Amino acid sequence: MTDEGADKLTQGMSKDGGPAVVLVKPQMGENIGAAARAMFNFSLTELLLVAPRDGWPNAKAIAMAAGAAKVAEAAQVFDSTKSALSGFQYVIACTARDRDMAKPAFTPERAAQELRARHEAGQKVALVFGAEASGLENEDISLMDAILTIPANPEFSSLNLGQAVLLCGYEWMKAADQTAPESRGRGEATPASREALVQLFEHLEEALIHSNFLMLEEKRPAMVQNIRAMLMRAELTEQEVRTWRGMIKSLQRATPRKG
């Protein structure tokens, strides 16, 4: 974000914070603007864009955002979902599709309560939305802690970005007086950031490839997704990630590479 963009966030915009809204490969500027408008309705101001199809900045997005133009103008742009989420500690994906990966599945209300509890406990949290036509890819989903599914008419369940963000923002606001911070049984331990988790995933996957555990390339994507899902469910702390990586390094030194 530029200094100018940061200044815009201080002029008439809420400082209460809340989950960042991440739009992955959004296609139309108008939809980005509608999402920004929906965010500001519920005091959400941190907008992240991953590879917007029509580039950025986008005049149509700013025009559509109307009174929430400041949110759109201050949006941060990233090349990949991985880089956009690097600093976050808890992330929920909004998706209507069933997934093979075993992850907690929330309603919008339950997701808002979980995000509230973690936000109030000091964690950096985000809601992620996929492209209008195709949604989120499995590789993106593997980086998420949980899935949010919006109950809708099974014969017409498609929502545009603005609608989905509006609904989630409403639930976030509604949960303000309903959710108390929860104890996760970790004391003062710091939850691992997405960047630390991705580094762990890649380190482990590299070791498993060299050991021939992931030798079958046709099965590798599904196996990698399942391994990531198992680790995500553990809700690792920063210290636990360091311990995992130390164990992997030790095994790499003790085991000759095959192949």
pLDDT tens for the chain, 259 residues long, are 333 444 444 344 444 579 999 999 999 999 999 999 999 999 999 999 999 999 999 999 999 999 999 999 999 999 999 999 999 999 999 986 555 667 889 999 999 999 999 999 999 999 999 987 778 888 899 899 999 999 888 888 788 899 999 999 999 999 986 655 454 445 567 889 989 999 999 999 999 999 999 888 888 988 998 899 899 888 899 999 999 999 998 988 876 655 5
Closest by CA position to 149, among listed 132, 166, 137, 164: 164
Closest by CA position to 26, among listed 58, 1, 66, 70: 58
H/E stretch holding 36: helix 29-41
Dihedral of the alpha carbons of 152, 155, 160, 166, in degrees to the nearest 10: -20
Q: Are 117 and 181 in contact (CB under 8 A)?
A: yes
pLDDT confidence of residue 236? 92
Q: Are 134 and 97 in contact (CB under 8 A)?
A: no
Q: Are 93 and 85 in contact (CB under 8 A)?
A: no
pLDDT confidence of residue 59? 96
CA distance 215 to 211: 8
pLDDT confidence of residue 202? 93
